[in-house]
């Protein structure tokens, strides 16, 4: 950039363009960081609010601690239905037996004041004798006397002449009970028939001279209610209660058991419906876990729903993070490419205006343009490499390598780079394997070299002139460990954890160190971590107590 001092307008224009792009990129990064911070705070706040509001899961009441912690015993739905059926049947039988026992006990207590069911049947001989005592009982004028003899509250009668014709009576026989002539009347004397729930007894009648004058048919019922007409309603009601008790209790206990079972089933379904509504509203910060139901199938359904919700939440979170990374990538690429492209344009314009009048200036400008182009190419290479190692189908290409010899060869390159920057390169190698086991290791040498290149370049970028960049290799059975140290300002973040994120750049000491080219893409350490993990190892960065930074990583031999 020194060559631009001799050109006023061009220098100002180039500086303005460069400054604008720098400020634009910085604003985009700050906006992205602010947005990420706000999202994190919102998520944290939402998590706290969710934790406070959820406290208990859907459907959990607000009772005491014991009520909340008590979990019902888990049973299959089939067993619960069978248990409800057996309970209903048993309770119905017990309640019916108790009701019958109470009614029978009451009947026993009042039995002394009740007439037996055959009360009127037992009075037939007496009533028949009284009617026969009349002078002409079959005559129509004897009706009043017969009415006085036959108890109307429990019996009815018909009087027939000797030819089987009805003379008078208090009921009208029908069907098979009707008398149709003398022969049929004589056939039924001293016998009885049943008709319409009644019994009809036929008794012969004789006059005072002993002549056969006909017959009287006495109709009655063999029930306690008919024998006790004044208490008939009570006895009928008791009988109805005894008959209806099994069905009434069966129905009642079925309803109660159904309600009890439905409450156990409805509550989890309400939780599922509420959860589905929340998912429809894009709210995944809830939980269906915690309180279990007593139904095994419902617990399995709730667990499956909870797993689906968590998987959906993780999927959406990954999608959101991917979107954030995409925005960060666009902002970072716009910034990183904007600076060297602006430099290239500015210097190219000055060279065109100069018209080759000052070759020495043109040479400096050409060198500056070349450096900016190399930084742009390096950035695009980093982007391509980051995209490649992140692909699901990406795989390493292991081959047997002599790791110590490979590191020595790379060390010669690093020593040359360090000398150009006025920095001392200090390699150190140890092999902890037994003498007979010091053979090649199966590793992806190209990717391991890429990791070392990134770490050494970072160390060189921030090492002061006269400082030291150290590379330590420790070979062990089945793998190796590397360490790269420098004497720079160290990491602004205490543990150096975020430096392995894509496009992350520290805003403190290390980012403010000498990096005049601005070629730091924020992808090198991300690529390094990805490659190391593909080798079955881990990478970590930290500040050294004596000053400077240290990055360690391990790799394991591949199959």
- Domain containing residue 501: CATH number: 3.30.565.10
Region class of 439: left (phi > 0), else alpha (psi between -120 and 50), else beta = beta
Higher pLDDT: 314 or 485? It is: 485
Residues 505 and 532 in one domain: yes
Query: Residue 195 belongs to a domain with what CATH number?
Result: 3.30.450.20
Q: Is 80 exceeded by the pLDDT of residue 536? A: yes
Residues 430 and 518 in one domain: yes
Please indicate, yes or no, if residue 258 is contained in any of the structural domains: no
**3-state SS of 56-79?**
CCCCCCCCCHHHHHCCCCCECHHH
Cα gap 145→30, rounded to integer Å: 123
Cβ(460)–Cβ(418) under 8 Å? yes
Q: Is 50 exceeded by the pLDDT of residue 419? A: yes
Residues 454 and 491 in one domain: yes
* Least confident piece of the model among 65-79, 423-437, 535-549: 65-79
Please indicate, yes or no, if residue 543 is contained in any of the structural domains: yes
Please indicate, yes or no, if residue 542 is contained in any of the structural domains: yes
Expressed as residue numbers, the domain containing 493 is 395-556
Please indicate, yes or no, if residue 255 is contained in any of the structural domains: no
Higher pLDDT: 423 or 391? It is: 423
The number of folded domains in the chain is 3
Region class of 179: left (phi > 0), else alpha (psi between -120 and 50), else beta = beta
What is the pLDDT confidence band of residue 356, given thresholds at 50, 70 and 90? low
Q: Is 70 exceeded by the pLDDT of residue 66? A: no
Residues 132 and 12 in one domain: no
What is the pLDDT confidence band of residue 196, given thresholds at 50, 70 and 90? confident
Residues 531 and 413 in one domain: yes
Residues 405 and 450 in one domain: yes
DSSP label of 142:
G
Residues 435 and 377 in one domain: no
> Which three-class secondary structure state does DSSP give residue 486?
coil
Residues 376 and 410 in one domain: no
For 207-248, what is each residue's pLDDT tens digit?
877 888 899 999 998 887 777 777 667 777 777 888 888 888
Residues 432 and 523 in one domain: yes
Please indicate, yes or no, if residue 494 is contained in any of the structural domains: yes
Q: Buried b / exposed e across 260-286, counting CB within 10 Å, b at 16+?
A: ebeebbebbeebbeebeeebeeeebeb
Cβ(299)–Cβ(292) under 8 Å? yes
Higher pLDDT: 328 or 397? It is: 397
For 96-150, what is each residue's pLDDT tens digit?
899 888 888 877 776 666 778 788 889 899 999 999 888 888 889 999 999 999 9
The whole-number pLDDT of residue 154 equals 85
The whole-number pLDDT of residue 72 equals 63
DSSP label of 231:
G
Residue by residue, DSSP assigns 347-405 as: HHHHHHHHTTS-HHHHHHHHHHHHHHHHHHHHHHHHHHHHHHHHSTT-----EEE-HHH
Mean of pLDDT over the chain: 78
Pairing of the two strands 424-431 and 468-476: parallel
Please indicate, yes or no, if residue 239 is contained in any of the structural domains: no
The whole-number pLDDT of residue 241 equals 81
Domain boundary among 190, 209, 227: 227
CB within 8 A of 187, min separation 6: which ones?
A: none
The whole-number pLDDT of residue 385 equals 78
Cα gap 245→249, rounded to integer Å: 6
CB neighbours (10 Å) of residue 519?
20
Please indicate, yes or no, if residue 236 is contained in any of the structural domains: no
Domain boundary among 184, 207, 227: 227
Look up tokens 């159904």; give the residue. 258
Q: Report how far apart, in Å, the C-alpha atoms of 454 and of each of 34, 389, 418, 420, 493 are.
A: 28, 15, 14, 17, 19
Residues 451 and 517 in one domain: yes
Q: Is 90 exceeded by the pLDDT of residue 36? A: no
Mean pLDDT of 190-196: 86
Cβ(91)–Cβ(253) under 8 Å? yes
Cβ(159)–Cβ(169) under 8 Å? yes
- Bridge-partner residues for 479, per DSSP? 476, 556
Task: Work out the percent of the chain whose per-residue pLDDT is above 90.
Answer: 28
Cβ(526)–Cβ(500) under 8 Å? yes
Q: Is 50 exceeded by the pLDDT of residue 22? A: no
Q: Is 60 exceeded by the pLDDT of residue 21? A: no
Cβ(50)–Cβ(286) under 8 Å? yes
HSE-CB for 217 with a 13 A CA cutoff: 31
Residues 428 and 313 in one domain: no
Please indicate, yes or no, if residue 256 is contained in any of the structural domains: no
Cβ(56)–Cβ(68) under 8 Å? yes
Higher pLDDT: 292 or 171? It is: 171
Higher pLDDT: 64 or 451? It is: 451
The whole-number pLDDT of residue 54 equals 41
Q: Is 80 exceeded by the pLDDT of residue 481? A: yes
Mean pLDDT of 466-495: 89
Closest CA to 257 of 98, 83, 97: 83
Domain boundary among 227, 245, 276: 227
The whole-number pLDDT of residue 361 equals 74
Higher pLDDT: 510 or 178? It is: 178
For 251-273, what is each residue's pLDDT tens digit?
888 988 888 888 777 878 888 88
Residues 223 and 179 in one domain: yes
């Amino acid at each position: 950039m020194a060559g631009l001092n001799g050109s006023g307008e061009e220098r100002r224009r180039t500086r303005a363009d460069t400054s604008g792009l720098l400020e634009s990129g910085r604003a985009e990064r700050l906006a992205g960081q602010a947005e990420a911070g706000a999202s994190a705070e919102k998520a944290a706040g939402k998590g706290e609010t969710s934790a406070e509001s959820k406290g208990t899961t859907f459907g959990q009441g607000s009772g005491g601690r014991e009520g909340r912690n008590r979990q019902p015993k888990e049973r299959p739905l089939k067993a619960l239905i069978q248990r409800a059926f057996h309970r209903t049947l048993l309770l119905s039988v017990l309640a019916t037996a108790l009701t019958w026992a109470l009614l029978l006990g009451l009947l026993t207590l009042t039995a002394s004041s009740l007439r037996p069911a055959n009360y009127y049947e037992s009075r037939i001989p007496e009533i028949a004798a009284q009617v026969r005592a009349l002078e002409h009982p079959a005559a129509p004028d004897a009706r009043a006397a017969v009415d006085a003899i036959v108890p109307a509250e429990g019996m009815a009668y018909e009087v027939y002449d000797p030819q089987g014709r009805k003379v008078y009576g208090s009921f009208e026989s029908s069907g098979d009970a009707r008398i149709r002539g003398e022969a049929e009347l004589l056939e039924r004397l001293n016998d009885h028939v049943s008709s319409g729930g009644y019994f009809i007894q036929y008794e012969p009648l004789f006059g005072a001279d002993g002549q056969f004058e006909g017959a009287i048919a006495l109709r009655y019922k063999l029930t306690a209610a008919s024998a006790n007409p004044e208490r008939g309603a009570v006895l009928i009601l008791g009988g109805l209660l005894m008959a209806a008790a099994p069905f009434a209790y069966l129905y009642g206990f079925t309803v109660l058991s159904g309600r009890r079972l439905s409450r156990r089933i409805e509550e989890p379904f309400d939780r599922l419906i509420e959860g589905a509504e929340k998912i429809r509203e894009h709210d995944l910060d809830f939980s269906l876990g915690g309180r279990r139901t007593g139904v095994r199938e419902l617990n399995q359904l709730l667990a499956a729903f909870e797993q689906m919700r968590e998987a959906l939440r993780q999927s959406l979170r990954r999608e959101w993070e991917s979107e954030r990374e995409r925005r960060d990538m666009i902002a970072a690429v716009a910034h990183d490419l904007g600076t060297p492209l602006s430099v290239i344009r500015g210097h190219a314009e000055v060279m065109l205006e100069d018209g080759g009048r000052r070759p020495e200036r043109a040479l400096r400008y050409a060198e500056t343009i070349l450096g900016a182009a190399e930084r742009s190419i390096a950035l695009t290479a980093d982007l391509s490499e980051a995209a490649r190692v992140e692909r699901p189908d990406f795989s390493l290409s292991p081959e047997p390598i002599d790791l110590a010899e490979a590191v020595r060869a790379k060390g010669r390159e690093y020593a040359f780079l360090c000398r150009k920057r006025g920095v001392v390169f200090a390699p150190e190698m140890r092999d902890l394997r037994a003498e007979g086991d010091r053979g090649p290791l199966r590793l992806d040498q190209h990717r391991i070299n890429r990791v070392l290149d990134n770490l050494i370049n970072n160390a060189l970028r921030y090492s002061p002139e006269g400082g030291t960049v150290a590379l330590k290799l420790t070979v062990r059975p089945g793998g190796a460990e590397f360490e790269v140290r420098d004497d720079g300002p160290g990491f602004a973040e205490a543990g150096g954890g975020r430096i392995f994120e894509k496009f992350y750049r520290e805003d403190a000491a290390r980012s403010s160190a000498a990096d005049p080219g601005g070629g730091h893409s924020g992808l090198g350490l991300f690529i390094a971590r990805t490659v190391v993990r593909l080798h079955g190892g881990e990478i970590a960065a930290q500040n050294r107590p004596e000053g400077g930074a240290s990055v360690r990583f391990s790799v394991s031999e591949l199959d």
